[in-house]
Structure 1
Amino acid sequence: MGPAVRLPLCGLILAAPLAALAWCEPPRQLETVAADDFRAGLARWRLEAEDERAVVTAKDGVLDIATPAGLSLWWRQPLGGDYAIRFTAVALPAPASAGEHAGRLSDLNMFWNALEADGSGPHPRSGKFTGYDTLPTYYAGFGANANTTTRLRLYDGRERRMLAGFADGAIAEPGELPMNPQTRLHAGQPLAIEIVSRRPSAADPVHLRWLANGHALFTRADPQPRLHGHFALRTTASRLQIRDFQILQCR
């Protein structure tokens, strides 16, 4: 696997207001087709944890993730069509088991529209981040690298391609914008996440929207978009709480 590379920022829109991003227009409507209220365990998810000390629970309306190392939590149901994923996330200090990373805020990350190169669903992996380098997918890392980067990537099965991002100071790659309050995690503060995946059209070529608290941090209008596959929450050396997980279809 070669180093991550960067794609041009074609089709990128940053921090557009939610009102400008209507994508499910009448007569179609958004309908909730699946959800998890986190009151009945993890039956709808598949856990891949690099460290056996990771603790993941789903009860009393909260998915609680506390992990000292890499962890992915895959929604078992594949997604396709024009859909949105919505949930609320809260970042808390990483657990003591994270060692030198204990207490940090970091890594509200996710994969989506992930499929193996042969079109099958993602096969089980160890939870180590580099193990996913061969998995074609989109990836967003919000507040990653100890809350110093927020980036959108495309994995094509051979390399991890930077599409767009925000980063602090010396770690910024060419073309990245500076981090700002909208692109950082804030301890204990709820963050509403929405991912939109839709078929592009001549009138609206944007197929990907990634929003945080109503602000579209990333949008894409790529010539060969990924439009279906699997979703996973991803993190490392962190503690996250997730609530109100929903999948909506535009029908």
Structure 2
Amino acid sequence: MRLQLLLMQLLLLVFPGMEAGTSCRLADWVVEDSSGKVEITCIGDTMDIVSPDGLSLWYKERLTGDYEITYRVQVVIENGRYDRLSDLNCFWGAGDPRHPDDFFARSTWRNGEFKNYNTLSLYYVGYGGNENGTTRFREYHGEYYGADDAKIKPILKEYTDAAHLLKANHWYEVKIRVKNGCTTYTMDGEELFSLPVADGRGNGYFALRLWQNHVRFTDFKVVNIDNLK
């Protein structure tokens, strides 16, 4: 992985008006990258991520109780080699049944390979997957190879209409909540997915999940629901 810290001149050239001096805090994240060639560039408080293959960018902190995740993210289409309008995905509430007390014990083994995430329990949204043909919500049940995908990670809801697929260079505002026994996923103010969850089932880790694309990712925040109005 190459981490490029750009000079002020490049910051102003790429993002006119952006203030340098804030950090995208790469130390807060664990990278699982199947290509071995992901490029993450810090541009002020924004990560510019070019992912040649599968990438899971895990927030290091385990989230518990009632919480809200928010962030802004854009799929970049500017004629770059990996500029591809597909797969703006995420995981949350993730845990490893084999290593309940050490989620990152098998981080090197997972290595960004999508099939290896079948071994985790988690929630997943694949926004604009399948070459921007589907937006899907799945629950993973932490099972292993040899089981049917419909049992390991059933599709709970799916959109295929244009209004719920990706738009090039659009800044999306994502909000994920676990609150009062329910988890929800909201995009640009519209709640797309909702699911009742058992007590403690929403506890776990969050990841931005990408595949063969180029995104910009910023304004990531996690707050305890009790602190929200």
Alignment TM-score, normalising by the size of structure 2? 0.78
More relative contact order, 1 or 2 (CA 8 Å, 6+ apart): 1
Match of 2:112 in 1: 127
Show the 5 A alignment for 1:144-159.
144-158=129-143, 159=152
Distance 1:95 1:137, change over 3 A: farther
* Structure 1 residue 104 displacement after superposition: 2.2
Q: Distance in 1 between matches of 2:116 and 2:70?
A: 26
Cα deviations by residue, 1:118-173 (Å, 9 ceiling, x for unpaired):
42324302111111111111111111122111001011012111111113xxxxxx
Q: Aligned pair count?
A: 193
* Structure 1 residue 96 displacement after superposition: 4.9
Match of 2:158 in 1: 165
SS for the counterpart of 2:154 is strand
Q: Distance in 2 between matches of 1:65 and 1:192?
A: 17
Residue pair 1:116, 1:135 contacting (<8 A) in 2 also: yes
Distance 1:226 1:95, change over 3 A: farther
Match of 1:199 in 2: 180
* Structure 1 residue 95 displacement after superposition: 7.1
Task: For structure 1, list consecutive stretches of 5 or more residues without a partner in the other structure.
Answer: 1-36, 168-178, 201-206
Residue pair 2:71, 2:217 contacting (<8 A) in 1 also: yes
Show the 5 A alignment for 1:30-69.
39-69=23-53
SS for the counterpart of 1:51 is coil
Partner of residue 74 from structure 1, selected from 34, 49, 58 = 58
Match of 2:84 in 1: 104
Q: Distance in 1 between matches of 2:187 and 2:84?
A: 20
* Structure 1 residue 222 displacement after superposition: 4.7
Match of 2:212 in 1: 237
Q: Distance in 2 between matches of 1:49 and 1:128?
A: 8
Once superposed, what is the RMSD of the aligned Cα atoms? 2.0
Q: Which moved more, 1:227-236 or 1:47-56?
A: 47-56
Match of 2:162 in 1: 180
Residue pair 1:68, 1:95 contacting (<8 A) in 2 also: no
Q: Distance in 1 between matches of 2:26 and 2:79?
A: 21
Identity of aligned residues (%): 31
